[in-house]
Amino acid sequence: MMDRPKFLVDRMLGRLVAWLRIFDYDTKSALELGLDGDEDAGLVDLARREGRVLLTRDRALVDRAVRACAAAVLIQPDDVREQLCELVRHYPLETVPVMERCTACNALLRKAAAADSERIRLEAPSHIVKEDKEFWVCDRCGKVYWQGSHWRNIKMMSDELNRCRPK
């Protein structure tokens, strides 16, 4: 059984980040890291140190990563659906959406408790709060999650990605 991969995503693939987190993959984004100086060197170094697969649109960066013994995958499409499809061809990713990881900051979520009701009331639309839905919270960045109407689109994406898998 292959270890669950962790990812590091370059600036040009920013939309991939939230999707990988929805599928509960530990994912860092170049956009969030604020690396100083030579960003490419910083990304390669981080990928190697933390055992992350570097996802990039830059072929030269893939070569640089491979020379440094870091894993890297070239992702060329413009569209995020095609980008995910490309990735699914390389890795047997589980593309089942789960409420495990904050899409905004990569921290693990927890189920909301009674003490979170005030925070939920502030963050969620009132009709959602009234429906007595299940909520999750991120203790790192404060974001509140629930399975609203967007959840159907997320599941649709998940189904579509199954078609990208190698037969």
What does the binding site for Zn ion look like in residue numbers (CB under 5 A)?
A: 102, 104-105, 107, 138, 140-141, 143
Residue 32 vs 50, nearer CB to Zn ion? 32
| Closest C-alpha to 12, from 72, 98, 77, 66 | 77
Shortest separation between residue 29's beta carbon and Zn ion, angstroms:
13
Shortest separation between residue 89's beta carbon and Zn ion, angstroms:
30
- Pairing status of strand 52-56 against strand 72-74: parallel
Residue 12 vs 107, nearer CB to Zn ion? 107
Shortest separation between residue 43's beta carbon and Zn ion, angstroms:
22
Confirm if 144 and 128 have CB atoms less than 8 A apart.
Answer: no
Residue 96 vs 141, nearer CB to Zn ion? 141
C-beta neighbour count of 161 within 10 angstroms: 19
Residue 89 vs 140, nearer CB to Zn ion? 140
Question: How far does the chain reach from its first CA to its final CA, in angstroms?
Answer: 19
Give 28's strand partners. Answer: 8
Shortest separation between residue 40's beta carbon and Zn ion, angstroms:
27
